[in-house]
C-alpha cells in the first residue's frame, strides 16, 4: 500500500492486517499525520491534534496485537467533534468564548470508543455551538470541502466529514439535531448514521431531546457498522438509552423483493437538477439490482421549517440561551459571537407552550405520513441536500440562498434532514449518490422503521454493494493535490 492508500484503507481491512501482523497501527497513524500535514491547510478540518499521545497509543496497540489482546477497535484512528466532551481536553464548541474551556467529564461515545481501543488523535471543527449546516467560526476559520474547496463540507459535523474524505482519519463521531451528521456526509461523499433516538447514548440534558442524536461516520458501510456496534446500547447515565435490544439482522445478499419508496422533494423543497438526476440514477441502480422502486407522496410544507426552529429552541436552544445569558452576558462577550449564532438565538428563544403544542402537532402530521409509507415499503429514500454548492463561508444570517434560480430559506431551505429529527425514532442513513457540476458530492437519506436500526444498516449495506464505489484509488478528492488559499471566516 502507498501512504495515501493507508490513509483511505477501510477500518475492517486494517483490523485484519493488524491481527495478521501485516501492518502496524503506528504505520497507519504516521501516514495519516503526513496526510494531515499535506492537505489540512487546504481544508482546515481540525481544531486540535494529539500526535505524541496518539503515537504512544498506537505503539501500545501494536503490543496488544502481539500479545493477542486486541480490543474491537484496537489501533484505529478516530476523530472527535469539538463539541463532544473528553475529560481534560479543551472543548470550544467553535466559540471564542470557550477557547480555554476544559471538559470535566467524558461523553459516553468517546468513552466507549477509547475503551474499545480507538485512538483519539484529533478534534474536528464545528460551527459555533453547532447551530449551522456549514462549518466556519471566528475561532477556527473556514472549513472547506476536500472535493471542491470553494464549497462547504456541510455542518455541523463538517470537520469530521472533511477529515474522513481527506484521508486524515479512519473513523469519526458526529451529532445531529437537524441534520448535522447527514448533511456533511452528503457533502463529503461518506456515510453517516442518525440512529433511532436513544440507541446511541448522549449526555443530559441533550439525551432528553427526542430530536437530538449522537452518531457515527465512516467512508463505507462495514466500517460504520463496526463503529456503531461499539457505541450503541444502554448507558447507565442516559435514561433515554434504556431501550430493548435491537434485533440483529443477517446480511442481505440481494435486493430482490425489497420495496423502496421515494420522494424527491417531500412535497415542497426546491432541488438543483444534479440532486434530482443523481437520486433518480441511484434509484435505477437499486431497481436494476431487483428492488421494487415506487414513488410515494409526502405533503410537507414551509411549516416544517418553523417547526424545526421551535424544536431546536426547546432543550438545546434554551440551554444555550441560558448559558450565554448567565455566563457571557456582557456586551463585549456577545460581540464575540458569530453573526449566525446571534441570529439563531433571536429565532429560537422564548418558545412558549402554544408553540410547543403546535410543533408537536406538526411532528404528528409528519409521522402519520411516514407511517403510511413504511407500511407499504421496506425503506424510504429522499435526497439529503437540495443544493450542494453552498459557499464555504456562507452565512445564513445575511446571505441569500438560491436553488434552481429560486430563493429559499437561507437557514434551512437547502437540506431535507430535519423532518426526520422530528420523527427521531426512525433511523436514517446518509449515503452518496454522485457529484454536482462543480464536483461536490450529492447524497440520499435512507429512512427505516422505528428502532429497526440493525435492519436499516443491513439494507444500506446491500444498497452500497450495487452502487458505484467511493474512495478507491481512482476516486479521491483531487483538488487537494493543488494549492488553495483559505481565508479566515468573515468577521
Q: Kindly report the three-state secondary structure assignment for every residue of 299-349.
A: CCCCHHHHHHHHHHCCHHHHHHHHHHHHHCCCHHHHHCCCHHHHHHHHHHC
Cell 430559506 -> residue: 409
Q: What pLDDT does 487 receive?
A: 39
Q: What ranges do the domains of the chain cover?
A: 3-305+353-475
Closest CA to 444 of 299, 286, 311: 286
pLDDT digits (tens, 9 = 90+) for 428-447: 999 999 999 999 999 999 99
Closest CA to 444 of 365, 379, 377: 379
Query: Which one is catalytic: 24, 42, 81, 172?
Result: 81
Task: Based on the residue annotation, tell me whether 81 is a catalytic residue of this protein.
Answer: yes
The DSSP output letter for 29 is H
Closest CA to 140 of 33, 48, 35: 48
Query: Which one is catalytic: 172, 180, 186, 241?
Result: 180
Task: Based on the residue annotation, tell me whether 259 is a catalytic residue of this protein.
Answer: no
CATH number for region 3-305+353-475: 3.90.1300.10
Q: What is the DSSP string of 164-229?
A: HHTTS-SEEEEEESSSTTHHHHHHHT-EEEEPSTTTS---TTGGG-TT-EEEEEESSHHHHHHHHH
Cell 467524558 -> residue: 106
Q: What pLDDT does 359 receive?
A: 97
Query: Which one is catalytic: 24, 77, 95, 156?
Result: 156
Write the CA distances from 122 to 111, 143, 157, 423, integer angstroms: 15, 15, 14, 32
Task: Based on the residue annotation, tell me whether 186 is a catalytic residue of this protein.
Answer: no
Torsion angle in degrees (nearest 10) through CA of 30, 33, 38, 42: 160
Q: What pLDDT does 490 receive?
A: 43
pLDDT digits (tens, 9 = 90+) for 169-184: 999 999 999 999 999 9
Q: What pLDDT does 479 receive?
A: 61
Closest CA to 428 of 222, 181, 262, 80: 181
Q: What pLDDT does 488 receive?
A: 45
Q: What pLDDT does 480 receive?
A: 67
What are the backbone dihedrals phi and psi of residue 433, each rounded to the nearest 5 degrees, phi first? -125, -20
Cell 486540535 -> residue: 48
SS3 state at 294: strand
Question: What is the side-by-side order of every strand in the sheet holding 171-176?
Answer: 46-49, 119-124, 77-81, 171-176, 213-218, 191-194, 428-435, 441-447, 379-383, 259-262, 292-295
CA distance 388 to 278: 12
CA distance 190 to 161: 7
What are the backbone dihedrals phi and psi of residue 56, each rounded to the nearest 5 degrees, phi first? -65, -40
Q: What pLDDT does 72 receive?
A: 98
* pTM of structure: 0.97
State the distance between the two ends of the chain, measured CA to CA, in whole angstroms. 43
Torsion angle in degrees (nearest 10) through CA of 263, 269, 270, 276: -20
- pLDDT < 50 positions in the chain: 482-491
CA distance 178 to 295: 25
CA distance 296 to 344: 34
Write the CA distances from 268 to 253, 271, 302, 309, 328, integer angstroms: 35, 10, 7, 17, 39
The DSSP output letter for 415 is B
Amino acid at each position: 500500500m502507498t501512504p495515501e492508500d493507508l490513509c483511505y484503507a477501510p477500518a475492517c481491512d486494517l483490523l485484519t492486517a493488524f491481527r495478521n501482523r501485516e501492518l502496524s497501527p503506528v504505520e497507519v497513524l504516521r501516514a495519516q499525520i503526513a496526510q494531515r500535514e499535506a492537505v489540512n491547510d487546504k481544508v482546515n478540518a481540525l481544531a486540535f491534534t494529539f500526535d505524541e499521545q496518539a503515537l504512544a497509543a498506537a505503539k501500545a496497540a501494536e503490543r496488544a496485537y502481539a500479545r493477542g489482546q486486541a480490543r474491537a477497535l484496537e489501533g484505529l484512528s478516530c476523530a472527535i467533534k469539538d463539541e463532544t466532551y473528553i475529560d481534560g481536553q479543551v472543548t470550544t464548541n467553535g466559540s471564542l468564548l470557550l477557547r480555554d474551556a476544559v471538559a470535566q467529564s467524558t461523553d459516553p461515545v468517546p468513552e466507549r470508543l477509547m475503551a474499545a481501543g480507538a485512538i483519539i488523535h484529533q478534534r474536528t471543527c464545528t460551527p459555533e455551538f453547532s447551530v449551522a449546516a456549514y462549518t466556519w467560526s471566528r475561532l477556527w476559520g473556514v472549513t472547506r470541502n476536500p472535493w471542491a474547496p470553494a464549497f462547504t463540507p456541510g455542518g455541523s459535523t463538517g470537520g469530521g466529514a472533511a477529515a474522513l474524505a481527506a484521508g486524515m482519519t479512519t473513523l469519526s463521531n458526529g451529532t445531529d439535531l437537524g441534520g448535522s451528521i447527514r448533511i456533511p456526509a452528503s457533502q463529503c461523499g461518506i456515510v453517516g448514521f442518525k440512529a433511532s433516538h436513544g440507541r446511541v447514548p448522549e449526555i443530559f440534558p441533550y439525551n432528553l431531546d427526542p430530536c437530538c442524536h449522537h452518531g457515527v461516520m465512516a467512508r463505507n458501510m462495514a466500517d460504520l457498522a463496526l463503529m456503531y456496534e461499539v457505541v450503541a446500547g444502554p448507558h447507565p447515565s442516559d435514561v433515554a438509552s434504556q431501550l430493548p435490544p435491537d434485533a440483529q439482522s443477517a446480511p442481505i445478499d440481494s435486493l430482490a423483493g425489497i420495496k423502496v419508496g421515494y420522494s424527491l422533494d417531500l412535497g415542497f423543497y426546491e432541488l438543483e437538477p444534479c440532486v434530482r438526476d443523481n437520486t433518480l440514477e441511484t434509484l435505477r441502480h437499486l431497481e436494476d439490482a431487483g428492488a421494487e422502486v415506487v414513488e410515494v407522496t409526502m405533503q410537507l410544507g414551509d411549516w416544517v421549517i418553523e417547526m424545526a426552529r421551535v424544536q431546536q429552541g426547546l432543550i438545546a436552544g434554551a440551554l444555550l440561551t441560558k448559558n450565554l445569558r448567565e455566563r457571557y452576558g456582557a456586551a463585549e462577550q456577545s460581540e464575540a459571537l458569530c453573526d449566525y449564532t446571534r441570529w439563531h438565538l433571536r429565532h429560537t428563544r422564548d418558545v412558549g407552550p402554544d408553540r410547543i403544542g403546535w410543533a408537536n402537532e406538526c411532528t404528528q402530521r409528519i409521522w402519520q405520513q411516514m407511517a403510511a409509507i413504511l407500511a407499504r415499503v421496506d425503506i424510504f429514500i429522499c435526497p439529503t441536500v437540495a443544493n450542494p454548492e453552498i459557499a464555504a463561508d456562507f452565512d445564513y444570517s445575511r446571505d441569500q440562498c438560491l436553488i434552481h434560480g429560486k430563493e429559499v430559506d437561507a437557514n434551512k431551505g437547502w437540506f431535507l434532514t430535519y423532518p426526520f429529527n422530528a420523527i427521531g425514532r426512525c433511523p436514517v442513513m446518509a449515503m452518496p449518490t454522485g457529484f454536482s457540476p462543480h464536483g461536490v458530492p450529492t447524497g440520499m437519506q435512507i429512512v427505516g422503521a422505528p428502532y429497526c436500526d440493525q435492519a436499516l444498516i443491513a439494507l444500506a449495506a446491500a444498497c452500497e454493494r450495487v452502487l458505484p464505489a467511493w474512495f478507491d484509488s481512482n476516486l479521491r478528492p483531487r483538488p487537494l493535490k493543488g494549492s488553495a488559499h483559505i481565508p479566515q471566516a468573515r468577521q
